[in-house]
Structure 1
Amino acid sequence: MGRTYRELLAVALLCGIALTGCSSSEAKPAAPSPSVSPPVTGTVEQIAAHLGCKPEIHTDAEQLREGRCGTGANVFSVTTFPAEKYKQAWLYEAGGWGGWYVVGPGWTVSASTKEAAVSRQKKLGGSLVDGSKVQKGTPPAT
């Protein structure tokens, strides 16, 4: 998941939030797996520290803050949200891109494979979401 992919995803999220701000529908991403432990909370930097990473911040917007960690094929994003509605909108937009996500209260961490997601989940808690199974359709209410 390269830099351009994540930038497009962030733009899509911001556009999706703008377009769905008045929606009253309740679309939800694919049912996440049960959490393996109580999920961590915190800033992008605090969550990334649990993974042994010092993130490079790439998006710092009102609806989300995103940092990137890793190199080459091991690049992943740590994204935090000021409200759950923004996280749900982000997951909705991410659905078309596939990948895996570890999802906690107010945050998501990306992974290119299920194995990488499971490894991050063991350190962070939270739930696993298969991005290829996020239900698109009616955008979530924001």
Structure 2
Amino acid sequence: MLRPSRARATLLLVPVVVLTACTAEQAAPADSGPPPTVELLAAKAGCTPKIQIDAEELRQGYCTTSIGTFFITTFATQQGKDQWMDQAPEYSPHLVGELWTALASRAVLDRLRQQIGGDLHLMDHRKSPSPGAS
């Protein structure tokens, strides 16, 4: 049996340990897993992509579905994605996600976005990352 002074010390430690465990769990970012592949994104859109580029730093494939033709590019690193985006045509709309982009006409991207997510970039992404932003 614990003495009263030890019992109080033990009871005081328990909430601190529980509070610390909860705080650490809440502060930890959710594990989102690995970035999606060209094949995974294409599958969400209902197709199997035809791979055009299969390199260590990026992969690119295209699909044609009932919504139209689109290109999906995935990147190994954020730096690689940023470099690609800096070279992307300013006049072409892009659908942009974490370590991936999709390229197509605006009409196709509007429908594709409902299937795979992402942010729609309508103009030069270096100036305005989303519609309506200035």
Report the Cα offset of residue 129 of structure 1: 1.0
Q: Does the aligned pair in 2 maintain the 1:95–1:135 contact within 8 Å?
A: no
Q: How many residues align?
A: 93
Report the Cα offset of residue 54 of structure 1: 0.5
Alignment partners' CA distance in 1, 2:109 and 2:88:
15
Alignment partners' CA distance in 2, 1:124 and 1:75:
14
Unaligned runs of 5+ in 1: 1-40, 137-142
Give the superposed CA RMSD: 2.3
Q: Where does 1:1-16 land on structure 2 (aligned, <5 Å)?
A: none
Q: Does the aligned pair in 2 maintain the 1:64–1:80 contact within 8 Å?
A: yes
Per the normalisation by structure 2, the TM-score is 0.61
Sort the Cα spacing of 1:134 and 1:42 in 2 relative to 1 into closer, same or farther, 3 A.
closer
Is the counterpart of residue 59 in structure 1 residue 50 in structure 2?
A: no
Percent identity over the alignment is 37
Q: Does the aligned pair in 1 maintain the 2:93–2:121 contact within 8 Å?
A: yes
Q: 1:47 aligns with which of 26, 41, 44?
A: 41
Which residue of structure 1 lines up, in the alignment, with residue 112 of structure 2? 120
Alignment partners' CA distance in 2, 1:75 and 1:117:
10
Secondary structure of 1:122's counterpart equals: helix
Report the Cα offset of residue 107 of structure 1: 0.7
Per the normalisation by structure 1, the TM-score is 0.58
Q: Where does 1:1-142 land on structure 2 (aligned, <5 Å)?
A: 41-70=35-64, 74-96=68-90, 98-113=91-106, 115-130=107-122, 132-135=123-126
- Bigger radius of gyration, 1 or 2? 2
Q: Does the aligned pair in 1 maintain the 2:72–2:103 contact within 8 Å?
A: yes
Pick 1 or 2: higher relative contact order, CA cutoff 8 A, min separation 6.
1
Unaligned runs of 5+ in 2: 1-34, 128-134
Return the letter of the residue paired with 1:77. F
Report the Cα offset of residue 89 of structure 1: 1.1
Alignment partners' CA distance in 2, 1:99 and 1:124:
19
Runs of 4+ in 1 over 4 A off after TM superposition: none
Q: Does the aligned pair in 2 maintain the 1:60–1:66 contact within 8 Å?
A: yes
